[in-house]
């Protein structure tokens, strides 16, 4: 298949592009290198991809560049590009979220109307659309009540996908990711921050009491969900929860990271941030039944993989003694 991956230099996008190429597909990757975190990390994410003859990269802004030609011969489109971050989405920064998460999605869907080979658009949504749900675990039918502007922007993207399916039969599927982690995770995300702090002997900043819970999902499971969402027939217009299948207390995650690193964790407790959800937990029965999705990576194993990545990123290698 000929595949387009937007946000290809990001955490999920780079892993997804690698999997597609490993499966024998051709990938066109697009990224505009938003400055939410250092470009050097994103360039490192796609360094291996650039060496593949099946990979082509274009640096482009989905809001500024023409998209009709970009999508013209595409069969699968994985729309991972977005402005991330719950806490940063308040105030004047929301302009970036409306442009990157809403307007760019609408422009992509418009371009899809003239893409003759298009079989599926997979849209990366977020568990943030649920907000603080009254009942856990949440199903896809749970009332969506985002508590952050970021969550609002991702829900708007979902609604746009549904509209273009209903009105024009653009074959969209939306995946609601629940706290994705693993190697290449963004520097602002919790596990990356926690692991870095433990490795470098710095205090871990925790917003709240560390008793909040999350449904954590390893990166390879999210990638698998994307592939299944692209190739499964008769799921157009649908939304699926994609999660790791277990709800874990944040404090336990910190303890596990410290144990794996063989170091102590120092925690600096701060006031709960606006827009942070207290608990998340997903019912993934729909994805299991229709997509055949089943998370494969246990939390401890996934944390160990992320910690190894962070060690390579932040700890200088020990010099080999001269002989």
Bridge partner residues of 16 (DSSP)? none
The token pair that represents 243 in the structure block: 């999660």
Contact assessment for residue 103 and residue 155, using Cβ atoms and an 8 Å cutoff:
no
Q: Which of 123, 130, 150, 293 is an active site residue?
A: 150
**Which string of b and e fits 31-55 if b means at least 16 CB within 10 Å?**
bbebebbeeeebeebbeebeeeeeb
Give the 3-state DSSP-derived string for 259-299, with helices as H, strands as E and coil as C.
HHHCCCCCEEEECCCCCCCCECCECCHHHHHHHCCCCCCCH
Q: What angle do CA 136, 122, 88 make, to 5 degrees?
A: 60
Gap between the Cα atoms of 321 and 323, Å rounded: 6
Strand order in the sheet with 2-6: 55-59, 26-31, 2-6, 76-79, 120-126, 172-177, 238-242
Kindly provide the residue ranges of all beta strands, DSSP E only, lying in the chain, ordered along the sequence.
2-6, 26-31, 55-59, 76-79, 120-126, 172-177, 180-181, 204-207, 213-215, 217-218, 238-242, 247-249, 267-270
Clarify whether 150 is annotated catalytic.
Answer: yes
Catalytic residue positions? 150
């Amino acid at each position: 298949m000929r595949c387009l991956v937007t946000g290809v230099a990001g955490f999920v996008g780079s892993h997804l592009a690698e999997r597609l190429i490993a499966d024998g597909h051709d990938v066109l990757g697009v990224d505009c290198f938003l400055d939410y975190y250092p470009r050097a990390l994103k360039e490192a994410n796609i360094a291996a991809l650039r060496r593949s003859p099946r990979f082509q990269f274009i640096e482009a802004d989905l809001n500024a560049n023409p998209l009709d030609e970009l999508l013209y011969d595409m069969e699968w489109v994985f729309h991972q590009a977005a402005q991330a971050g719950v806490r940063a989405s308040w105030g004047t920064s929301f302009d970036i979220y409306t442009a990157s998460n809403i307007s760019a999605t609408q422009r992509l869907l418009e371009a899809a109307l003239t893409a003759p080979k298009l079989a599926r658009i997979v849209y990366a949504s977020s568990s943030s659309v649920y907000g603080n749900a009254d009942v856990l675990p949440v199903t896809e039918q749970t009332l969506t009540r985002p508590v952050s502007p970021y969550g609002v922007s991702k829900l708007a993207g979902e609604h746009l996908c549904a509209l273009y399916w209903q009105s024009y039969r653009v074959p969209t599927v939306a995946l609601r990711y629940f706290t994705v982690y693993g190697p290449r995770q963004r520097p602002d995300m919790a596990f990356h921050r926690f692991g870095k702090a433990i490795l470098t002997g710095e205090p871990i900043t925790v917003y709240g009491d560390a008793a909040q819970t999350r449904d954590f999902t390893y990166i390879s499971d999210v990638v698998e969900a994307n592939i299944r969402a692209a190739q499964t027939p008769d799921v157009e217009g649908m939304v699926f929860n994609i999660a790791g299948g277990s709800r874990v207390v944040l404090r336990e995650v910190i303890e596990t990271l410290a144990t794996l690193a063989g170091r102590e964790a120092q925690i600096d407790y701060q006031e709960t941030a606006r827009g942070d959800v207290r608990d998340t937990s997903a019912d993934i029965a729909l994805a299991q039944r229709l997509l055949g999705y089943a998370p494969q990576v246990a939390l401890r194993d996934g944390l160990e993989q992320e910690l190894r990545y962070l060690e390579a990123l932040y700890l200088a290698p020990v010099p080999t003694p001269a002989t």
